[in-house]
Amino acid sequence: MQADLWFIYLLLVIGLGLVAFGAYAARVKASVELKYVLSASGAFLFGLILLHLIPEVFSSSLPYAGVYVLIGFLIQLFLDYFSKGIEHGHIHSSRGLSSLVVFAGLCIHAFFEGFPVIDTAAASFKFNFPLLIGILAHKIPVIVVLVWLLNDSGFSKRNTLFMIGIFILMMPLGSLANISLSMLMSDTSIYRPVVLSIVTGVLLHVATTIMYENDQHHHFNLRKTLAILAGFLLAALSAI
């Protein structure tokens, strides 16, 4: 794998770390504006799934690809019980062990997100940049919410920043696991479509939930609708 690929990933990790540190220093809390950012990022991610991931999944020779997408969807549904829906912008105050369970669920979710970010189909691995941007756009508000949750749970500054650091590293670790498995297998014609299908299901659950369950009142909201349309537009531009 090319060294410049890891250098880019290092810069992204540092950037997310700065977001987390800034959120902690400013004691950022959940706001209406954050929900609109989540709606736009969810729409952007959903558009990328439709324009990039789903066509690739169903153009492969994998039989019953839709079943694997459904499995991924159900995996994220299961993870929601642990993460309390924080990756969707749902914010619940938790204490002690409950916060650690939420944190573990978010880390597992972030690990899965790292798999499709690196395209292992070619001889030299490369970033799937549109998908990477979509996941990062979704991850930034999640980090802000996670910082708020850990602060509210009474964790010390050192423990909060340490846990945020672990969460940020989970996506690169998922990418590294994908690369390692691809290198260990002589034939990735089955492995890669299976992993891509499952992760597509995971991201599909996240994206649709962000868009349709981010408003507690479930009524028409012009600003939210415009945010979703902006996300779709950015996804469409990435396919040009």
How would you write the pLDDT of the chain (240 residues) with one tens digit per residue? 555 666 767 777 777 777 776 666 655 555 556 677 778 888 888 998 999 889 988 988 888 899 999 999 999 888 877 766 665 555 555 555 567 777 888 888 889 888 888 877 665 677 777 788 788 877 777 787 788 778 777 788 888 888 888 988 898 888 888 888 888 876 667 788 888 899 999 999 888 887 776 555 556 678 888 988 998 998 888 777
Contact between 127 and 8 (Cβ < 8 Å): yes
Instruction: Give Cα 37 to chain centroid, integer Å.
Output: 14
Under 8 Å CB-to-CB from 97, ≥6 apart: which residues? Answer: none
Neighbours of 142 (CB within 10 A): 23
CA dist., res. 150 & res. 159, Å (int): 9
CA dist., res. 215 & res. 39, Å (int): 9
CA torsion angle 127 145 82 48 (round to 10): -30
CA 170, 23, 208: angle at the middle one, nearest 5?
Answer: 55
CA dist., res. 76 & res. 54, Å (int): 17
Residue 127, classed as helix, strand or coil, is strand
CA dist., res. 17 & res. 81, Å (int): 26
Phi/psi at 118 (5° precision)? -100, 125
